[in-house]
């Protein structure tokens, strides 16, 4: 194993929801390792800014629109010759008790966090199977593995458990055809998404810090190296893995 195994030169990488937070930091890390990055983002302003920052391209993408997902994947492959790495990061959270969760709210979260990841995996997977190679990285969450008191996020936790299972299912289907599928399950990471919870549920935030052995939340930049590892040849024997990065939260 050499540094070359982590290099992504000649690779095209799509990052969904790459306009800010974890997605932006992963896009930056992939670009720093040589990938040509395409930011697929619903927010045009953030997406364009992010693409500028990482020296990549912005494409307008709502991952809940399956035909748009298919179109973006087709365009990337047509224009660049291949799609080698795809990071499915776009996601949202609703902080609400199960008994107050409306049908609409439940569907909103599942539509983005689960349907959106599936549409991306399916369309990207088809392109990668045609190429006979590729690496997919799905951003799940430790919340898909543990129900962390006192939070009330049943739709979010359910969607992320689905992403972990989806990752394993697809990895099994595609393992002998050159396409690897892995998941990253972050613990609490200091992005806008988390700051929203800190503002509205400060008591949850303090409780999470107490339950994290490292006593802090992660930095979005701490996700980048792991994404590079999973994207690159350095992880060539890994597929179907769910890699937890949580300051020790789930180790109790």
Is residue 31 packed enough to be buried (19+ CB in 10 Å), middle (13-18) or exposed (0-12)?
A: buried
Closest distance of CB 223 from ligand NDP, Å: 8
Residue among 109, 170, 102, 106 nearest 138 (CA):
170
Closest distance of CB 93 from ligand NDP, Å: 6
Q: Give the phi and the psi of residue 21 in degrees, each rounded to 5.
A: 60, -140
Binding-site ranges for ligand NDP (CB under 6 A): 16-17, 19-23, 41-43, 46, 61-64, 89-92, 112, 116, 139, 141, 186, 188-189, 191-194
Closest distance of CB 129 from ligand NDP, Å: 23
Residue closer to ligand NDP (CB basis): 93 or 179: 93
How many whole angstroms separate alpha carbon 16 and alpha carbon 56? 13
Q: Is 156 a residue of the active site? A: yes
Residue closer to ligand NDP (CB basis): 3 or 67: 67
Residue closer to ligand NDP (CB basis): 125 or 144: 144
**Active-site choice (119, 156, 188, 229):** 156
Residue closer to ligand NDP (CB basis): 43 or 52: 43
Closest distance of CB 192 from ligand NDP, Å: 4
Catalytic amino acids? 156
């Amino acid at each position: 194993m050499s540094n070359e195994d982590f290099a992504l030169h000649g690779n095209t990488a799509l990052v969904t929801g790459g306009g800010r937070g974890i997605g932006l930091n992963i896009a930056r890390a992939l670009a720093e390792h040589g990938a040509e990055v395409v930011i697929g983002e619903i927010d045009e302003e953030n997406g364009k800014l992010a693409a500028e920052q990482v020296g990549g391209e912005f494409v307008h993408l709502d991952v809940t629109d399956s035909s748009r997902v298919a179109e973006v994947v087709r365009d990337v492959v047509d224009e660049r010759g291949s799609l080698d790495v795809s990071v499915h990061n776009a996601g949202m959270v609703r902080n609400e008790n199960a008994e107050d969760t409306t049908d609409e709210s439940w569907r909103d979260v599942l539509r983005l966090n689960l349907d959106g990841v599936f549409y991306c995996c399916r369309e990207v997977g088809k392109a990668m199977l045609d190429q006979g190679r590729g690496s997919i990285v799905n951003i799940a969450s430790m919340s898909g593995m543990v129900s962390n008191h006192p939070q009330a996020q049943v739709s979010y936790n359910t969607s992320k458990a689905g992403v972990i299972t989806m990752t394993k299912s697809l990895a099994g289907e595609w393992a002998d055809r050159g396409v690897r599928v892995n998941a990253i399950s972050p613990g609490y990471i200091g992005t806008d998404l988390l700051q929203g919870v800190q503002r509205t549920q400060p008591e949850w935030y303090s409780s999470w810090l107490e339950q994290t052995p490292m006593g802090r939340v992660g930095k979005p930049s701490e996700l980048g190296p792991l994404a590079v590892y999973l994207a690159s040849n350095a992880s060539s024997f890994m597929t179907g893995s769910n890699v937890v990065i949580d300051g020790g939260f789930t180790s109790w």
